[in-house]
Amino acid sequence: MWEPEQSGLANIAGLLSQGLQPGANQAEILKQLDEWGRFPDFCKYLAYIFSSDQAPDDIRQSAGLLLKNNVLRQYRNLDAGAQAYIQQSVLPALGSDSKPLRSTAGTIVAAVVGAGTWSAWPSLAADIAQALRAGQPAALLGALDVVYKVAEEFPQELSARVSMNGDVATPSQALLPGMLALATHAELPVRRRALEALNLTSVISPPGMEATAGAYLQALFALAQEPDGAGVHKEVCDGMVQMVTAHPDAVAPHLPGIIAYLLAMMERRDQDADAALAACEFWSAFCEAHLDPSPLHPHLPRLVPLLLDNLTYQDDDDDVIVAEALEESAADRDAELKPFVPRSAAHGDGGGGEGGDDDGDGDTWAQWSLRKSSGMALDFLSNTFCDDLVPIMMPTVQARLASPDWHLRESALLALGAVSHGCYVALQPHLATLLATLRAHVASGGGGGAARHPLERAIACWSTSRFVPACLERAMENEDGALAAAEASVRALIGALGDANRRVQEAACGALAGVCEDSPAPLVAALAPAILDGVAAAARAYGRRATRHLYDAIMALADALAPSEGGARASPGVLAQEDNQRKLMPALMHKWRTLGDGDEELLPLLEVMGSVATAMGAAFEPFAPDVALRCVRLVEAHGGGQERPEAAAAGGARAVDPSLFVVCALDLLSCTCEALGPRTAALLDAPEHPLPLVDVAMRCAGSPLADVRQSAFAVVGDLARGCGPRVAPRGGEVVALAVACLAPGAVRTDTLQACNNAAWAAGETVLAMDAAGVARVAVELAEALARVLAAGPARMARSLLENSAVALGRVAWRAPEALAPHAAQLAEPWFLVLQGIKDGREKEGAFWGVCGVVARNAAGAAATDRAAALLLMACASWRSMREAELHAELRGALAAVRAHLEGAGRWGAVWGGLKQAARDKLGAQYGLR
């Protein structure tokens, strides 16, 4: 048995003790502990202290928390002896009578699972399952705590395949029976913790959950009978929400009783606010489950008034206090500015951007509450019961709108916005009146000269934005009065940009962003000049926090007006028009010139400039040299994205990760290259400041940081597309970097977007290279792409599969002789994914590759009946093929496949296995019978 060296033990314990003293120099203590951490046995020392009954509990807990951090970082690198020592030291503490020690032990055990999977502790799942059958409440609580923390931090591990007692099963299958049994344990704390663990586990619905759904539901019903004050009703309500989400069919027969219980919990909100909030979550989940709504319908007259009551602010709510304080002062405080999170570039048909819905209630929606849950419930209920909600809620809403109490008026405005979409048909005849009412509440002055409360003005902005897009849709259909009402409402929102209260400013920005995102692009284009006037004035007046919200509005406007393939949303040239440039660009360029290279507020400006560049297209060229030069300087000044210093995460009150500047600068470079297209070459050759843009992008594409690689590959791909001759000589390097990004083990959830862009950039680069260059790298790149495709949709995201299929097609197009011998290995997964790609430039390039491979090796492409059928279905997936030459090539390739299959006596089986609709389409398009 290992024993610690006493002087080292005393030193480490002493440091832990010092760290607990008031006024201790924490930085110095952490530095010394980090130095000890370099010794191989450091984790064993921590485990020894944690398990020692001789040490005070607070020092033991401190050692345990430090051990947990070290386990997460280096458990896989510890030798087997150290791992075993940690395990045997920590496991007994799960049964400690001390709750803090028990909790710390559970945290360490969960960290071992997260750092090394169950295989790092082969007996653990069986040990915990056994502990769930222990007799002592403390041991039961410790075991449940482990399950809870694994489900919370590493939920995928509950579905892992683990060897236990000679059998292979998932941990969830081993643990669920014990958890369910403990839900009816004699001790209330055990029952409560068992239910908490069950609820969290059910979120991911691991193997074994479906089979235990009935028992889980019965446990909920039993715990629902607990007396008030038992502290389990919140967990019961949470469990019912999980059940209707994951197992709606099991819930359906019991809905009357469940609905009655949840309504009762909501009516007791003054006695148990947590249970009321948990109960309120059920209504949205019920609507999303798409169960028969009739059991809930008779309860709407009881439910809707409860939800309306929950919308009302109280005077001591934080939002009220903050909003009223902002009537006096709009000065920004650093603590109010949230850390910036970039909206990085994703490329390719399947890449998918990132974004989210703005609920419009500003920061009041950032912290979840009964008010927000009730508003969301009304939204979902209105989409389920539609106009049936209107006669129930409108008398209350109308009475509140006329009330002298701003709290009631504000809640009525929120209710109108919440049901605006689902109840639109019933409200539509009154739309002009509704919008006029909302406009009156957006303004700071009320009837009779009374001032509107800032939260009333703010929520009126949001509710207005919920009605305006539908009104503009009506205007597109030439409905009388619709355009005038919508334009007046948008102008009211523009006016609110100049409100003196920052809370209202932010709401107005969010509302305008919502209008731009959800309205018809031609009418957004018509409103753009007026919006830009308001934006320009606001940019001169706003502080940092409101400016970030203003940027959101600018990006939404730019995105709505940006050109898109096929012109579906395009309103070409709106931001490129000189008048609109004069409104917007001086304001942005003033910010651009005044913010320093290390100022965090430069990050959102870089992002908004990217959206504007994309919308302006070639008209962005006058601004491009200054923008591109600074972006390159930012990348180089901030380390080129080669590391993410720990100081960025832990140091200083406002430390900013340098890699964020690299990511945002690269994203703006990508947008600039995309906007300029072939004119990007002029930037690279600028006589005053020639840009080493290719070098910078390539260096960053090899970064160890996934977000940096993602943005760098976007630049590489845009350069290859716009000025391919500059990238082609380094095509082999691009392919090598992409292959490394797509290597086994490198494709993970946290690297997905980087892998997407790597595949896309490789495909674009292949098109820019000469045939000989592509031939040299074709097999290596095809193998990497084929590995991704072979993993299939069960393990790979659709976006990555589609980008890989397109890239593989381009490789095959440019080097068909190199890939034709491998057709049998490529065919099935490649053809399967090609079926789901929408028509367009990317799909055309991919099918040129199909034609090249099939023409040279029809036997390989149809080596199996499934491969042949998938090829036929991929060809049938075209709705409209623009290139007559491609159509002719594909027709010839399919004729070759048919000839091969007929010669092998397989055509009848393959053709007969297709659906009739596919056979009809193939016959009409390619002459196959």
Q: Which of 510, 522, 422, 509 is nearest to 472 (CA)?
A: 522
Contact between 394 and 427 under an 8 Å Cβ cutoff? The reply is no
Give the Cα-Cα-Cα angle 268, 269, 273 (nearest 5 degrees). Answer: 130
Q: From residue 446, how far is each of 442, 443, 466 by CA, in Å?
A: 9, 7, 22
Contact between 774 and 765 under an 8 Å Cβ cutoff? The reply is no
For 162, list phi and psi in degrees, rounded to 5: -130, 145
Q: Which of 564, 664, 570, 558 is nearest to 620 (CA)?
A: 558
Q: pTM here? A: 0.84
Distance CA 522, CA 385 (A): 32
Largest CA distance in the chain: 90
Which residues contact residue 84 at a Cβ distance below 8 angstroms, ignoring those fewer than 6 apart? none
Exposure of 729 in the CB half-sphere (CA atoms within 13 A): 4
Distance CA 592, CA 589 (A): 5
- Looking at residue 793, its pLDDT comes to 86
Put residue 332 in one of left, alpha, beta given phi > 0 → left and psi -120 to 50 → alpha.
Answer: beta
- Looking at residue 353, its pLDDT comes to 30
Distance CA 327, CA 291 (A): 46
Distance CA 909, CA 592 (A): 65
Distance CA 511, CA 785 (A): 43
- Looking at residue 647, its pLDDT comes to 42
Which residues on neighbouring strands pair with residue 483, listed in sequence order? none
Exposure of 686 in the CB half-sphere (CA atoms within 13 A): 17
- Looking at residue 585, its pLDDT comes to 96
Q: Which of 765, 604, 769 is nearest to 697 (CA)?
A: 765
Q: Name the token pair of 339.
A: 């850390």
Q: Name the token pair of 378.
A: 């009304």
Burial (CB count <10 Å: 0-12, 13-18, 19+), residue 839? middle
Contact between 659 and 641 under an 8 Å Cβ cutoff? The reply is yes
Q: Which of 69, 65, 17, 67 is nearest to 44 (CA)?
A: 67
Q: Name the token pair of 560.
A: 């709505």
Distance CA 664, CA 588 (A): 16
Contact between 446 and 410 under an 8 Å Cβ cutoff? The reply is no
End-to-end Cα separation, the chain, in angstroms = 77
Tokens 């999303």 identify what position?
Answer: 288
Does the domain spanning 6-244 belong to CATH 1.25.10.10?
A: yes
Number of H helices, E strands in the chain: 48, 2
Burial (CB count <10 Å: 0-12, 13-18, 19+), residue 328? exposed
Total residue length of the chain: 929
Distance CA 216, CA 739 (A): 47
Q: Which long-range contacts (CB under 8 A, 24 or more apart) does 50-54 make?
A: 50/89, 50/90, 50/93, 50/101, 50/104, 50/105, 50/108, 51/89, 51/90, 51/92, 51/93
Whether the CA torsion 834, 840, 846, 848 is positive or negative: it is positive
The segments of the chain whose pLDDT lies below 70 read 327-336, 344-366, 445-451, 564-572, 641, 644-654, 689
Q: In angstroms, how far is CA 128 from the centroid of its own chain?
A: 33
DSSP 3-state of 857: coil
The ranges assigned to domains in the chain are: 6-244
Tokens 């995309």 identify what position?
Answer: 674
Amino acid at 449: G
- What is the number of other CB atoms lying within 10 angstroms of the CB of residue 624? 22
DSSP 3-state of 839: coil
Secondary structure string (H, E, C) spanning 600-665: CCHHHHHHHHHHHHHHHHHHHHHHHHHHHHHHHHHHHHCHHHCCCCHHHHHCCCCCCCHHHHHHHH
Give the Cα-Cα-Cα angle 507, 513, 519 (nearest 5 degrees). Answer: 130
Contact between 877 and 838 under an 8 Å Cβ cutoff? The reply is no
Tokens 């399950």 identify what position?
Answer: 147
Q: Name the token pair of 917.
A: 């609709």
Distance CA 280, CA 237 (A): 9
Contact between 162 and 118 under an 8 Å Cβ cutoff? The reply is yes
Amino acid at 472: L
Alpha helices in 93-212 (DSSP H): 99-116, 124-131, 137-153, 171-182, 188-204
Contact between 217 and 250 under an 8 Å Cβ cutoff? The reply is yes
Distance CA 395, CA 192 (A): 41
Amino acid at 354: E
Q: Name the token pair of 183.
A: 């839900």
